[in-house]
Structure 1
Amino acid sequence: MSGMTALQGSLFELDTEPGLGPLSDLVVRHELGRGAWVDLLPGWLGCADEVYDRLLGIDWQAERRQMYERMVDVPRLLRFYGEEERLPHPTLDLARRALNEHYAAELGEPFMTAGLCLYRNGRDSVAWHGDTIGRGRSEDTMVAIVSLGSAREFLLRPRGGGATIRHRLGHGDLIVMGGSCQRTWEHAVPKTARPVGPRVSVQFRPRGVR
């Protein structure tokens, strides 16, 4: 997997799904091992500028969490959209529909929720983790992420140790983690000292996976 390359942005067009590129025949799967895989498609969201501008203005929420013996600020802003909530841009509804159609046979259930993160600058990050709150702890599942805004590194490594795989996710790029990925691998977005602008991550998940 060391030969996997960074993502480069590109645009595709579909008359039936404005702003979205096709998935079939273009998304590329990379087997990670231990039953895990990731699918990658750069530039999937062709209208990324419009969606990104809209998302910057939503009602982002700051959270605090227990870290050892003290409460600390979560180093990013968050917004979770449950199953019954309207997504903040119609293209995100189209994206979820396209993902459901493409992965229906393999996943066996639809993507239902959308968790959004805003990384305001290079000081914002997310530590190593798997999405194992709920069914992801014991079952194979999928998490589909659309990245918008400034490019940031997205890291993957096997649980228990092993080589780190690095992707540079850019504006409109899609990454889907599937199989046992949440249980047998971890992912992270590290801090960076480079000057970078905001990045929004949109994470589509099935019911009961966080």
Structure 2
Amino acid sequence: MSLVVQPSLFGFSGEPGIADLGDAVERRPLSDGAWIDLRPGFVTAADALFDALVSDVPWHEERMRMYDSTVRVPRLLARYRQGEQLPHHVLDDARSALNAHYGGELGGEFTSAGLCLYRDGNDSVAWHGDRIARESASDTMVAILSLGAIRPFALRPKSGGPGLRLQIGHGDLLVMGGSCQRTWQHAIPKTTRCLGARISVQFRPDWGNRLGGPDRD
């Protein structure tokens, strides 16, 4: 697969690994009981992990029904259900660290992982929330590890009002919790300023075989 890759300005070279969470995690309360956590540089030597995942993950293209036609999903996908082997040991380490840090709030563990490959600025995902079920009123948590090029990650409250536009990439961690999936929406918009490809790794709790529906982030 031929991709344009934007290397980190900080030269994250060497063997990939993970950094501590703990006090390095910054929590930002949102409206309606939602919150996000940010941990820049959670994965060290993140560009090396990006390269490994591009090569080793069995990426595939999907199509979805939209109105009266079937359209191509504008990104490549891979899914790892509960109990399936993840494609790199650093992802196992990251999930273990997330479970140790968030286990009490989550009320369980992150078990499944969905991966999305955004090949360039034309790949995107529309506004949405990751729900256990469309009719569910339960809160849940989604942890997103962003590798490769920095892309805008947009959030907006469903009730209206100002949103956020974050710049994440090169091993940054974003966790959405509280009512975030019910009361806020998030998106990866198209951009003409993207300088390379991006991989998103989404860790979720067990939502059954649906994994919370199609991987979007």
Instruction: Kindly provide the CA deviation profile for residues 86-138 of structure 1, in whole angstroms up to 9, marking residues without a partner as x.
Output: 00000000000000000011111000000000000000000000001438942
Instruction: Kindly provide the CA deviation profile for residues 133-179 of structure 1, in whole angstroms up to 9, marking residues without a partner as x.
Output: 43894211110000000000000000142212110012000000000
Within a 5 Å distance, the mapping from 1:125-136 to structure 2 comes to 125-134=124-133
Within a 5 Å distance, the mapping from 1:52-71 to structure 2 comes to 52-57=50-55, 58-71=57-70
Kindly report structure 1 stretches of 4+ aligned residues shifted beyond 6 Å.
8-12
**2:45 maps to 1:40:** no
SS in 1 for 2:24: coil
**2:21 maps to 1:23:** yes
Tell me which residue corresponds to 1:176.
175
**2:145 maps to 1:146:** yes
SS in 2 for 1:87: coil
| CA deviation after TM superposition for structure 1 residue 9, in Å | 8.5
Within a 5 Å distance, the mapping from 1:1-210 to structure 2 comes to 19-57=17-55, 58-134=57-133, 137-208=136-207, 210=212
Q: Does the aligned pair in 2 maintain the 1:150–1:196 contact within 8 Å?
A: yes
Taking structure 1 as the reference length, the TM-score comes to 0.89
1: CA distance, partners of 2:10 / 2:143: 19
Q: Does the aligned pair in 2 maintain the 1:11–1:21 contact within 8 Å?
A: no
2: CA distance, partners of 1:141 / 1:130: 11
2: CA distance, partners of 1:62 / 1:86: 21
CA 1:153/1:116 → structure 2, altered by over 3 Å: closer, same or farther?
same
CA 1:136/1:101 → structure 2, altered by over 3 Å: closer, same or farther?
farther
The CA RMSD measured in Å over matched residues stands at: 2.0
SS in 2 for 1:33: coil
Read off the aligned partner of 2:89 and give its amino acid letter: P
2: CA distance, partners of 1:136 / 1:51: 37
Q: Does the aligned pair in 1 maintain the 2:150–2:194 contact within 8 Å?
A: no
Q: Does the aligned pair in 2 maintain the 1:29–1:40 contact within 8 Å?
A: yes
Aligned residues: 198
Taking structure 2 as the reference length, the TM-score comes to 0.86
Read off the aligned partner of 1:148 and give its amino acid letter: L
2: CA distance, partners of 1:136 / 1:143: 18
SS in 1 for 2:30: strand
Please list every run of 5 or more consecutive structure 2 residues that lacks an aligned counterpart in the other structure: 1-7, 213-217
Percent of pairs with identical residues: 57
